[in-house]
Amino acid sequence: MLSREREIVSGMAQEFLLLLRWRSNRRLEQALRISRRSRMDMRKLVGQNVRRIRQKKGLTQEQFADVSGFSQQYISSLEKGRRNPTIITLYELAVALGVSHIDLVRPIRRKRKLIS
């Protein structure tokens, strides 16, 4: 190859690499946005499930705090979706509620009303 051809190929390769980086950065940004949304939704989902199961068992937050060993303030924040519990915390909450830890992260299925 002539030196001019090398320069052209080199310039094209650099532009191609820049384009690839730009596209991968956009994909990364999109993935991070989705991840952030999912994380927020997961905290709310866990909180809703804890509240639903706790109320189904007839426990107040204070009673559940005594049983679980967590503070009432922590449980309140968790149920509002403000806390991000660890896997160990999920397990301990599930044991205190007498359910599987999977039940705390499982989405709630809404029953559809059939129109007759």
- Whether the predicted pLDDT of 50 surpasses 70: yes
- C-alpha to C-alpha distance for 105 and 49, rounded to whole angstroms: 7
**pLDDT at residue 31, as a whole number:** 57
Domain locations in the chain?
3-105
3-state secondary structure of 109: coil
Mean pLDDT of 64-89: 95
What does the pLDDT read at residue 48?
Answer: 94
Can you give the C-alpha Rg of the chain in angstroms? 25
The CATH class of the 3-105 domain is: mainly alpha
- Tell whether the model's pLDDT for residue 84 goes beyond 70: yes
**What pLDDT does 64 receive?**
97
Whether the predicted pLDDT of 39 surpasses 60: no
Q: How many Cα atoms are found within 13 Å in the side-chain-facing hemisphere of 49?
A: 22
pTM: 0.62
How many Å apart are CA 71 and CA 17, to the nearest integer?
53
Question: 38: part of which helix (H) or strand (E)?
Answer: helix 3-56
